[in-house]
Structure 1
Amino acid sequence: MTMQQADTATEVKTFISSENLLNEWIGHRRLTRRVIEAFPEDQLFTFQIGGMRTFGAMVKELLDIGATGVKGMVTNDWGTTDFNNHHMTDEQKTKEYLLQQWDLSTEAIIHWFPQISEERFQETVKSFGQYEGHVYSSLLYFIDNEIHHRAQGFVYLRSLGVEPPAFWNRN
């Protein structure tokens, strides 16, 4: 193997920078926040279709995963979230609480995400002590899961006669 081949063999090509990935996710979070804002308060924790959970319960799941997961990727501290029980007290079951927690969670993601090194993206982790995979695949799951639940929120809004925010506007 020549020196040039050795350099090429160890070179890692990046599809997207971590900064751009974070910016994309934050754009998704802005849109998801608008869906929470659009949801009728009295339906947030009561309205269901076809056995799906309420949108409020879905948002709680997203809150349990996002910032906690990113922090776990940096510190290996995955918190104590029980992924079979995204519990909320009755006092927490308000739109105001969800939006406040959403904003805090977004701030935490913005804080922790840049601390994930390029090498760390390729490492294998056991997210929340349960889900083994590369850091990058776990991050993509967090984002995909948010998009999935936001889409369910869109369906709920439409069925409630509420026009959801434009799905393409992540500003």
Structure 2
Amino acid sequence: MSTAAASSPAAYTGSAAIALTPEALRAHWQGHRRLTRRVIEAFPEDQLFTFAVGGMRSFGVLALEMLSMAAPMVRGSVTGEWETTFDRAPRPKAELLKAWDESTAEIDALWGQIPPARFQETTTAFGQYTAPLYELLLYCVDNEIHHRGQGYVYLRALGITPPPFFERE
């Protein structure tokens, strides 16, 4: 295979990884999800949906945003149907954690149904975001990391030491 063909996304057949296999991407994301779950757990119940700094949204609201994207992104990747409604009403921490766990399990259950070549296909998610699927999935990961960082700031402002950011097991 020529160098040009080897570096072309169109040359990807699913049998060799360009940079990261689909399974490695899923495992990486799930590591972030485990850490974000620990950040949710660290919040006092009465501060999860009420505490914010500098006009930003509460961490509970941010966690609901993450939930509205994660499993729906993977589900849409498999089915082509993009859920655009999500209940973002505040809820007890136990319910938020339950929804987080259900979302995590759904990602795991659906991930293997995404054909490897699909990661390179351009798609429009949620009727408005057009990009190759791998970019849309990476956006979900990036968004989670960004909002988790806000959660770290909130926890520190509340006098709570957040979980180490590098511990994703």
Contact 1:81 1:128 in 2 (8 A): no
Q: Would you identify which runs of 4 or more consecutive aligned residues in structure 1 move more than 6 Å? A: none
CA distance in 2, matches of 1:57, 1:131: 21
How much does 1:7 deviate?
Answer: 6.9
Question: 2:75 maps to what in 1?
Answer: 71
Matches within 5 A, 1:63-142: 63-81=67-85, 87-88=88-89, 93-142=91-140
Aligned residue type for 2:115: S
Partner SS, residue 109 of structure 2: helix
CA distance in 2, matches of 1:66, 1:166: 23
TM-score w.r.t. length of structure 2: 0.90
What percent identity do the matched residue pairs reach?
Answer: 51
Question: 1:33 maps to what in 2?
Answer: 37
Question: 1:17 maps to what in 2?
Answer: 21
For the pair 1:152 / 2:160, whether they are aligned, the reply is no
> Over residues 29-56 of structure 1, what are the superposed CA-to-partner deviations in whole Å (9 max), with x where a residue is unaligned?
0000000000111000100111100000
CA distance in 2, matches of 1:62, 1:129: 18
CA distance in 1, matches of 2:20, 2:122: 19
Report the count of equivalent residues: 162
CA distance in 2, matches of 1:81, 1:144: 21
CA distance in 1, matches of 2:11, 2:51: 51
Partner SS, residue 18 of structure 2: coil
TM-score w.r.t. length of structure 1: 0.89
CA distance in 1, matches of 2:122, 2:11: 19
CA distance in 2, matches of 1:14, 1:111: 24
How much does 1:60 deviate?
Answer: 0.4
How much does 1:116 deviate?
Answer: 1.2
Further displaced range: 34-43 or 4-13: 4-13
The answer for unaligned runs of 5 or more in structure 2 is none
Aligned residue type for 2:73: G
Contact 1:45 1:56 in 2 (8 A): yes
Give me the CA root mean square deviation.
Answer: 1.7
Q: 1:96 to 1:160 in 2, by over 3 A?
A: same
Aligned residue type for 2:67: L
The answer for unaligned runs of 5 or more in structure 1 is none
CA distance in 2, matches of 1:110, 1:48: 32
Aligned residue type for 1:129: G
